[in-house]
Amino acid sequence: MAEENKRKEIHDLGEFGLIDHLTKSFKLKQASSMLGIGDDAAVIKNGDQMTVVSTDMMVEDIHFSLSYTPMKHLGYKAIISNLSDIYAMSAVPHQVTVSLAISNRFSVQALEELYEGIQSACDLYNVDLIGGDTTSSNKGMIISITAIGSVAQDELVFRTGAKPGDILCVSGDLGAAYLGLQILEREKQLYDSHPGVQPELDDQKYLIGRQLKPEARGDVIENFRKYKLKPTAMIDISDGLSSELFHICHSSGVGAFIEEGKVPLHPDTEQTAIKFQLDPITCALSGGEDYELLFTVDEGDLEKIRFMPNVYIIGDIVDKKDGITLHTTGGNVHPLKAQGWQHLQS
């Protein structure tokens, strides 16, 4: 068969290769389209203010399992993951739309619980639910959310502005949501093989909470304004530290190093990782769904971040030629891999 007629496989391109392949011939035509594909959210010029838009889809048994995710938490988390993308532009979210594909496997009561979670996130983050769509699905549930926010043009932060010498920071501890998922998966397996046995999860509240009820770091964006700090680049950590750092580095045309000993880990993360025979730092680098912010700061702003709460310095931005590396506590330098959550695994 001629090479050009050969069926192409999605997994040969990967998630980002596929997006690029499908969209590269689309050019922005509208003067108001300030930024299209390639950041946490798109940016539309709207007078002096910039409107920021982000959309995300969650598919049952890919992104969540209803065997251990209460409906209320699912609704809450679906909103949070979208708000996090708006904050990652240094913008403030104002509205969301929620679209659902469901089957009659779900009762009205179950969907009421889903919307209780959506409502409590909307109330806490002061955003309005302004629309959506409801349709049927053959089997699993699909939730698609669009979040809309705004920001003054000079306060926008993209993935593209990191430069050598900048300080690499994160807003909180990492790896906990991934370990929370491991605990829930393990309990599900135990439950499936021994139905009726109640799981003992009380001593794992922190990790499970980070998995089932994450928060979006709007408080960090507020602090940026308060301390008059503008990061040079920013992204939210939905797919793992390593993968997000690669996005910043590729978008900004730079390299970076992370100091292993400086990556914030909750004590429960360290203990549970070891119990599961996992390396805690690997959980932080490759686990997903922490929804912390990863950002870079000009070295001249060091004094400002020293006094800001929830800022952990974890490394530095370097020249592109120096690559993206991990400086281990043992004094070794390892090239980092971009493995995070792979949504499109073969």
In 289-317, which positions are buried (b, 16+ CB within 10 angstroms) versus exposed (e)? Answer: bbbbbbbbbbeebeebbeebeebbebbbb
Q: Which of ligand ADP, Mg ion, none does residue 19 bind to, with CB < 5 to 8 Å depending on kind?
A: ligand ADP
Q: What is the Cα–Cα distance from 263 to 33, expressed in whole angstroms?
A: 37
Q: Which of ligand ADP, Mg ion, none does residue 146 bind to, with CB < 5 to 8 Å depending on kind?
A: none
Q: Which of 39, 60, 166, 236 binds Mg ion (CB under 5 A)?
A: 236
Cα-based distances in Å from 48 to 36, 43, 150, 151, 289: 19, 12, 10, 9, 33
Q: Which of ligand ADP, Mg ion, none does residue 274 bind to, with CB < 5 to 8 Å depending on kind?
A: none
292 lies in the binding site for Mg ion (CB under 5 A) = no
Residues at the site binding ligand ADP, with contacts judged by CB under 6 A? 19, 23, 37-40, 56, 85, 238
Site for Mg ion in 169-198 (CB under 5 A): none
Helix axis angle, 218-226 to 71-87, nearest 10°: 30
Q: Which is nearer to Mg ion, 260 or 292 (CB)?
A: 292
Q: What is the Cα–Cα distance from 209 to 249, expressed in whole angstroms?
A: 31
Beta bridge pairs of residue 254 = none
Count of residues touching Mg ion (by CB under 5 A)? 3
Q: Which of Mg ion, ligand ADP, none does residue 166 bind to, with CB < 5 to 8 Å depending on kind?
A: none
Where does 94-175 have alpha helices with state H?
108-124
298 lies in the binding site for Mg ion (CB under 5 A) = no
Q: What is the Cα–Cα distance from 148 to 94, expressed in whole angstroms?
A: 6
User: Hey, is 125 helix, strand or coil?
Assistant: coil
- Tell me the closest approach of the beta carbon of residue 30 to ligand ADP, in angstroms: 16
290 lies in the binding site for Mg ion (CB under 5 A) = no
Q: Which is nearer to Mg ion, 83 or 254 (CB)?
A: 83
Q: Which is nearer to ligand ADP, 68 or 87 (CB)?
A: 87
Q: Which is nearer to ligand ADP, 40 or 215 (CB)?
A: 40
Q: What is the Cα–Cα distance from 257 to 245, expressed in whole angstroms?
A: 9
How many C-beta atoms lie closer than 10 Å to residue 113's C-beta? 18
| Beta strands 255-259; 324-327: pairing state | parallel
Q: Which of Mg ion, ligand ADP, none does residue 38 bind to, with CB < 5 to 8 Å depending on kind?
A: ligand ADP
Q: Which is nearer to ligand ADP, 23 or 332 (CB)?
A: 23
Q: Which is nearer to ligand ADP, 43 or 167 (CB)?
A: 43
- Tell me the closest approach of the beta carbon of residue 236 to Mg ion, in angstroms: 4
40 lies in the binding site for Mg ion (CB under 5 A) = yes
- Tell me the closest approach of the beta carbon of residue 201 to ligand ADP, in angstroms: 29
Q: Which is nearer to Mg ion, 289 or 316 (CB)?
A: 289
Q: Which is nearer to ligand ADP, 20 or 203 (CB)?
A: 20
- Tell me the closest approach of the beta carbon of residue 79 to ligand ADP, in angstroms: 14
Q: Which is nearer to ligand ADP, 223 or 238 (CB)?
A: 238
Q: Which of ligand ADP, Mg ion, none does residue 152 bind to, with CB < 5 to 8 Å depending on kind?
A: none
Q: What is the Cα–Cα distance from 116 to 171, expressed in whole angstroms?
A: 28
Q: Which of ligand ADP, Mg ion, none does residue 316 bind to, with CB < 5 to 8 Å depending on kind?
A: none
- C-alpha angle 139-142-146 in degrees, rounded to nearest 5: 165
85 lies in the binding site for Mg ion (CB under 5 A) = yes
Q: Report whether 293 contacts 280 (CB < 8 A).
A: no
Q: Can you say whether the dihedral through the CA atoms of 172, 246, 87, 153 is positive or negative? A: positive
Q: What is the Cα–Cα distance from 34 to 308, expressed in whole angstroms?
A: 31
Cα-based distances in Å from 236 to 157, 209, 294: 12, 19, 6
- Tell me the closest approach of the beta carbon of residue 345 to ligand ADP, in angstroms: 15
Site for Mg ion, rule CB under 5 A: 40, 85, 236
